[in-house]
Amino acid sequence: MKDATAIHEEFGGDRLPPGQRRTDRFPVLSKSGTPRWDVESWEFTVSGAVEDNLALSWSDFLDLSTETQKQDFHCVTGWSRFDNEFAGVTFPTLAEEAGVEDEAVHVLFGSLDGYTTNLPLEECLREEVLFTHELDGQPLPSEHGGPLRVVTPHKYAYKGAKWVDSVEFLTEPRRGYWEKRGYSNTANPWNEERYSSF
């Protein structure tokens, strides 16, 4: 298993970012409850500045190569959960599958509940950015984003879309749900980038 719990070193900070406290619980934070999904009709799409638009069924997605990583999880409301074992498909693997065009600079993730979140492409092209469907050896609980969510251990957790079902490669930046509502667009936990000032 890949241990990604040392990525804080890259950001020049302690394992527990400033202003966070450690918890062993895993609180649930959702803007509007847990959406329903159906394994037969679920479809995951990749579009925008890519060579091949993808439309993957649940079994197509499970055919992609999967890896397990140990990661920390930092919520902007002040709690961190260490040593989560997430299994899934890395962002670079998925990007490779679609073939990212040179013009792509940004990414917008979309979800079954209408949530969106955004990141620069270079912040997505990291092994730790995972489309995950397993937590601690079990299918990812639906309230935590099952069947599939994104995790972004280098960012506050609102950058990881639960119930993710679309990825759009963009030629210019676009803000997602919380980024339009006053949360930081950059969301680096070691700099406490929690809110934006506009």
Ligand X SMILES: Nc1nc2c(c(=O)[nH]1)N[C@H]1C(S)=C(S)[C@@H](COP(=O)(O)O)O[C@H]1N2
The two structure tokens encoding residue 140: 């990812």
Position 163 contacts ligand X (CB under 6 A): yes
Q: What is the dihedral of CA 56, 165, 33, 140, to 10 degrees?
A: 60
Region binding ligand X by CB under 6 A among candidate stretches 14-22, 40-48, 94-102, 108-116: 108-116
Region binding ligand X by CB under 6 A among candidate stretches 5-13, 23-31, 89-97, 187-195: 23-31
Size of the site for ligand X (CB under 6 A): 18
Give the Å distances, CA to CA, from 133 to 18, 90, 112, 181, 197.
Answer: 29, 11, 15, 28, 34
- In whole angstroms, give the CA distance from residue 173 to residue 108: 9
Ramachandran quadrant class, 15 (left: phi over 0; alpha: psi -120 to 50; beta: rest): alpha
Position 155 contacts ligand X (CB under 6 A): no
Position 87 contacts ligand X (CB under 6 A): no
Position 16 contacts ligand X (CB under 6 A): no
Residue of 44, 131, 158, 163 that binds Mo ion (CB under 5 A): 158
DSSP state of 89: E
Name the residue nearer to Mo ion (CB basis): 64 or 75.
75
In the list ligand X, Mo ion, none, the entry touching 163 (Cβ below 5 to 8 angstroms by class) is ligand X
Residue 148, SS3? coil
Chain positions contacting ligand X, by CB under 6 A = 27-31, 75, 111, 113, 115, 144-145, 157-158, 160-163, 178
Chain positions contacting Mo ion, by CB under 5 A = 29, 76, 158
